[in-house]
Amino acid sequence: MLDFIRNGKKLTLSVETILKFVVLAVCVAYYVILIFGKFFFAGDNVFYRSLNIFSGAGDPNLIIRLVSYVFFILSASWVIRCLLYLLAKPLKKGKAIVDIVCSLVKYAAVIVLIFLILKSFGVDTTAILAGIGILGLIVGLGAQPLIADIIAGLFIVFENVFDVGDIIVVDGFRGTVRDIGIRTTKIEDVGGNIKIVNNSDLRTVINMTEQLSLAVCDMSIEYGESIERVESILKKHFDEIRENIPEIKEGPVYMGVSELANSAVVLRFVAKCDEGARYQVERDMNRQFKLLFDKNGINIPFPQVVVNEPTQFEDATKKEKKEAEQFVEEQKELGKSIPDGDINNF
């Protein structure tokens, strides 16, 4: 660790950071010499001729040529990968494609570097390539599951089945996609557990992020309560509930009476939101409707023993009945965009 004082502040540089600066400086110097060296060195200079990998004149110094190969191939690979990440950074989708392409670039750079080094030592790389082709065919016959994983991974990425950051369900496991590799996909659930699945095994996938999700809230009222009075109160306070839950993208929408239970009339409310916020939106809706019901004297039934006179419920006024009918019709129109099949599964 090295400490520096700048503008009265103490700055600490780690050894790793210093090494990165040194490597960067050497790479810059290498490319400066490679590009502008012809202006400083004579045409028969052994050092420049060996450093310039594009020069075929004369016999180069083997060590300098090998070092030049390493600097050029690895630095070019690093620059290409950085540019790909910069281009993909503002995009919501596409990170998985960039990850796979960068992996291919990295492996290709290493393979090219190995062949250039072998060629520098006079090895016949053509024969090696032919041998690798035959060996690849033999290995391929015994590595069909691996090939299936690679092909499935490419289809997942290029068909945009899901992307990094999407919430998906695979065989009952719900989680966020953290990485899509050439062979496997990593999915992390809310508890931090990571499920690693071979790409070829991802046959039944539910992408919960592609469209807005439905947050469903069921609230119960007593049978003696006037539904029309409740609907009139809801009409006056829906905008307030929407403002109090900023995660709601569309809605909430009053879907009507979903059930006549043993001791309660169940009202259903639905809102659209991002999948990652669905459960929190449902909890917030429960809270907001409970507060609204308490404020307006709307009882939520619960098991109890009545030892006094029954509660006298208020009847809806003509104005409230009219407002309730208008409100129900408005909500029916809004609810037409939500298929019943989507909410009946909740």
Q: How many Å apart are CA 50 and CA 67, to the nearest integer?
A: 10
* The pLDDT value given to residue 289: 92
Q: Do 131 and 7 share a structural domain?
A: yes
pLDDT digits (tens, 9 = 90+) for 6-50: 555 555 556 777 777 777 787 777 777 777 777 777 666 777 777
State the CATH number of the domain containing residue 230. 3.30.70.100
Cα–Cα nearest to 100, from 161, 183, 205: 183
* The pLDDT value given to residue 308: 64
* The pLDDT value given to residue 291: 92
Q: How confident is the model at residue 174 (pLDDT cuts 50, 70, 90)?
A: confident
Number of C-alpha atoms within 13 angstroms, CB side, residue 208?
22
* The pLDDT value given to residue 127: 67
Number of C-alpha atoms within 13 angstroms, CB side, residue 198?
10
Q: Do 100 and 13 share a structural domain?
A: yes
State the CATH number of the domain containing residue 171. 2.30.30.60
**Domain final residue pick, 207, 231, 251:** 207
Cα–Cα nearest to 300, from 238, 223, 242, 232: 223
Residue 141, in any domain of the structure = no
Q: Do 193 and 260 share a structural domain?
A: no
Residue 38, in any domain of the structure = yes
Q: How many Å apart are CA 42 and CA 108, to the nearest integer?
A: 34
Q: Do 176 and 110 share a structural domain?
A: no
**Amino acid present at 132:** I
Alpha helices in 40-175 (DSSP H): 46-51, 62-88, 95-120, 125-142, 144-158
pLDDT digits (tens, 9 = 90+) for 80-107: 877 777 776 666 555 666 777 777 788 7
- Mean pLDDT over all residues of the chain? 78
Residue 140, in any domain of the structure = no
Task: Match 């004149």 to its residue by tokens.
Answer: 57
107 token code pair: 């492996």
| Main-chain dihedrals φ then ψ at residue 280, nearest 5 degrees | -70, -40
Give mean pLDDT, residues 175-189.
82
Cβ–Cβ under 8 Å, residues 199 and 183: yes
pLDDT digits (tens, 9 = 90+) for 150-171: 777 777 777 777 877 788 888 8
- Domain interval for residue 324: 213-302+312-344
Q: What share of the chain is helix, strand, coil (3-state, %, to 5)?
A: 55, 20, 30
Q: How many Å apart are CA 43 and CA 37, to the nearest integer?
A: 10
Cβ–Cβ under 8 Å, residues 271 and 281: yes
**Domain final residue pick, 175, 190, 207:** 207
How many Cβ atoms from other residues are within 10 Å of residue 344's Cβ? 9
Give mean pLDDT, residues 180-203.
82
Q: How many Å apart are CA 67 and CA 52, to the nearest integer?
A: 11
* The pLDDT value given to residue 136: 61
Beta bridge partners, 170, equal: 173, 205
Q: Do 123 and 69 share a structural domain?
A: yes
Q: Do 326 and 271 share a structural domain?
A: yes
**Domain final residue pick, 191, 207, 223:** 207
Q: Do 87 and 39 share a structural domain?
A: yes
Residue 114, in any domain of the structure = yes
Residue 196, in any domain of the structure = yes
pLDDT digits (tens, 9 = 90+) for 300-338: 887 666 566 667 777 888 888 888 888 888 888 887 777
Number of C-alpha atoms within 13 angstroms, CB side, residue 163?
15
Q: How confident is the model at residue 78 (pLDDT cuts 50, 70, 90)?
A: confident
Cα angle 18, 24, 27 (rounded to 5 degrees) comes to 145
Residue 228, in any domain of the structure = yes
Residue 275, in any domain of the structure = yes
Q: How many Å apart are CA 92 and CA 139, to the nearest integer?
A: 38
* The pLDDT value given to residue 282: 92
* The pLDDT value given to residue 137: 57
Alpha helices in 169-277 (DSSP H): 227-244
Q: How many Å apart are CA 241 and CA 284, to the nearest integer?
A: 9
**Strand, helix or coil for residue 315:** coil
**Strand, helix or coil for residue 10:** strand
* The pLDDT value given to residue 95: 66
Residue 307, in any domain of the structure = no
Percent of the chain with pLDDT over 70: 80
The phi-psi region of residue 224 (left if phi > 0; otherwise alpha if psi is between -120 and 50; otherwise beta) is alpha
pLDDT digits (tens, 9 = 90+) for 111-145: 888 888 877 777 776 766 666 666 565 555 555 77
* The pLDDT value given to residue 130: 66
324 token code pair: 């309730």
Q: How many separate domains does the chain show?
A: 3
Q: How many Å apart are CA 280 and CA 283, to the nearest integer?
A: 5
Q: What is the spatial order of strands in the sheet that 173-180 belongs to?
A: 194-198, 184-188, 173-180, 167-170, 205-207
